Amino acid sequence: MSAERVADVPRDDGTRFAHRLWVARESGIVVALALLLLVTVLHNPAFASPQSLRDLLLGAAILVVLAVGQTVVVVSRNIDLSVGAVLGLSAFATGTLLSSAPGTPTALVALVGLGLGALCGVVNGVLVAAARVPALVITLGTLHVFRGVDHRWAGGRQVNAADMPRDFLRLGTSTVLGVPVLAIVAVVVVVVVGYCLRSYRGGRELYAIGSEPAAARLAGIPVGRRVFTAFVVCGALAGLAGVLYAARFGTVDATAGTGIELQVVAAAVVGGVAIFGGSGSVYGAALGALLLTTIGSSLAVLRIDPFWQQAVVGALILAAIGIDRLLALRAADRLRGRSSHGA
């Protein structure tokens, strides 16, 4: 069976059930987000002020971009733990470029960040796809390699906001019709990547690979090439996130993005992207990122111990994994029942 035929196979009962569950999960995230906002606003009405909402969107924008890239990898039954280090490397490269050449156009800076991130993605993709080494091990190693390169390059230096052009720094605070520019960039990334995953054969094949890699190979899908592409896309978006980070915070050093990779994975999983691969969407991942950001801000407003933020996120991850397991078991049961009926 050709790859094109696989992409066009009609949905069976198990797949339709999975789709309904994804929609229910994304709707559940929206409801949880609305309830969280309501409780926080009742406690402190200032939380609903335009400035507070803009700050919330700004805080979520970078995490959303990273979560979208992570989703592309996770649906193929892989994971990229190096995104935080790639973000840090790209952010420092952005700061260094702008401090040494202040007249560099912002579009060119963004392309440099994308290119540097894509290069890191190529390293991950080659090691995972060609050597067929587990992505968890590979990206855990490259996380430290990329972070080491960043520390070696920085040499203890940091790039301050005073060293970068004002026009670039305005990107981190400017708005269009009240919506932060960074949030608009994040929405564009979500829409473009979501469309590609849904409408192009290569995107649909990533889901087929995540569902069953061996069957995908037998169907003629170029598994290695698709997985390689997924890591390049993830790296490029992490590089773009580094550019946004530099614009948002101004001050950049070798520690930028440290630890954010765990938040990225959490955002994707909480947003309905199955850690076992084969299901989920970038829209759910974006909602998951927004929910995690809102939880952090709300707990601070409600004066709840920060420990509980980690506990809540951990509970959400466990619940998401449990639902993924339920989805897999229900889909398998439906398929077995259908096979028995056909026999």
> Is residue 333 over pLDDT 70?
no
Say how far apart CA 33 and CA 291 lie, in whole Å. 6
pLDDT, position 23: 58
pTM for this one? 0.86
CB under 8 Å to 113, separation ≥6 — which residues? 90, 93, 94, 239, 240, 242, 243
- Specify the pLDDT at position 3: 41
Nearest in space to 118 (alpha carbons), one of 228, 244, 258: 228
Cα–Cα dist 164/98, whole Å: 6
- Rounded to the nearest 10 degrees, how much is the dihedral formed by the CA atoms of 207, 213, 217, 220? -10
What is the token pair recorded at 127?
Answer: 């090691």
278-294 CB burial, b ≥16 within 10 A, e <16: bbbbbbbbbbbbbbbbb
pLDDT score of 131 more than 80: no
pLDDT greater than 50 at residue 126: yes
Which class for 111: exposed (0-12), middle (13-18), buried (19 or more C-beta within 10 A)? Answer: middle
**pLDDT tens, 1-13?**
444 444 443 444 4
- pLDDT 10s digits, 172-192: 888 888 899 999 999 999 999
- The domain spans of the chain are 3-335
% of the chain at pLDDT higher than 90: 40
CA distances from 262 to 66, 82, 139, 247, 305 (A): 11, 10, 13, 22, 20
First to last CA, the chain: 22
* Pick from 275, 269, 266: nearest CA to 313: 266
- Report, as an integer, the average pLDDT of 110-120: 95
Q: 3-335: what CATH class?
A: mainly alpha
Q: What is residue 234's three-state secondary structure?
A: helix
Residue 340 has pLDDT above 60, yes or no: no
Find tokens 């550019």 and name the residue. 243
